[in-house]
Amino acid sequence: MKKSALVIINPSSGKEKATEYEELIRETIQDTYSEITVKHTEGEGDAIRFAKEAAENNYDFVISLGGDGTVNETVNGLAPFSNPPKLGIIPMGTVNDLARSLNIPMKHEDAIKLLDSGTETKIDIGMINNETYFTNILGIGRAAKAIHNVDSEEKSKIGPLAYLKVIGKEIMDERLFPIKFEMEESTWKGDVSVVLISLIDSLGGVKTIVNDVDNGDGNFHIFAFKHLNLIELAKMTPSVVMGNLKESENVHYFKTRQVSITTSASETQESDIDGEQGPNLPFDLKVLPQHITIMSN
């Protein structure tokens, strides 16, 4: 039986070297996939459309070459389907959180080898308002909002430091905002500086920060920071180093499968989804457990 694969390439990723790996990918998977289609993104939404068309046409495998944004778009094209194609990731971005969480090598040639020899791993997907999907981290608050405003040229020059730079500017002018979590288990409300909602154990390209998260356990892991300023960051350093953020006195921690999140009517709070701009509050979140299969290490 013939198998088909779609390769989605973001030409601007990997310091604009992504297209150089097209032939190596063909050589790696051609014995398994007799039909291989390659498409290059040219703008926002292209990877969503390409992945959706692949699922509609019963492709067996979709491969994403790019950063977290390209992977997020690819997932948003696949996630609406009950039995989406298997996903392969060649990490070529600045942070590559999902790839790191799944132990996919950062060396491109090694990641490509996994397309044929890797292990199939099912991952949870987060769904927002029954229409938008994410795989990594959802952030709320000014520090989180700043992440999707990072200049792409600066990301290419200084890598993850570009994110620290913009977050640093925000925490110098900390502002708290009211938030309410209505979960299956309980309801909580209070004033916070930033909220991180995680599905994986990698944050900002570092796996040790959120060891509390058990990948694929069917839950959102919510970290609501009471304060995010230089003094509190210094106090939190031991928790960050040990990977147990939920033990910090500066963090309210919750674990849930679904949650409705609201703020006061006078507040406008944006969100960041996997490094890209997300919807404003209020919204509803639900976990789709083990919904997509990814080739991992």
CA distance 224 to 181: 10
Out of 22, 174, 182, 276, the active site residue is: 276
Contact 71, 101 (CB under 8 A): no
Question: 53 catalytic, yes or no?
Answer: no
CA gyration radius, the chain? 19
Going 69 to 70 to 74 to 75, the CA torsion angle's sign is negative
Which residue(s) pair with 296 in the sheet? Answer: 119
CA distance 46 to 135: 18
What is the CA angle 229-235-241, rounded to 5?
Answer: 110
Catalytic residues: 276
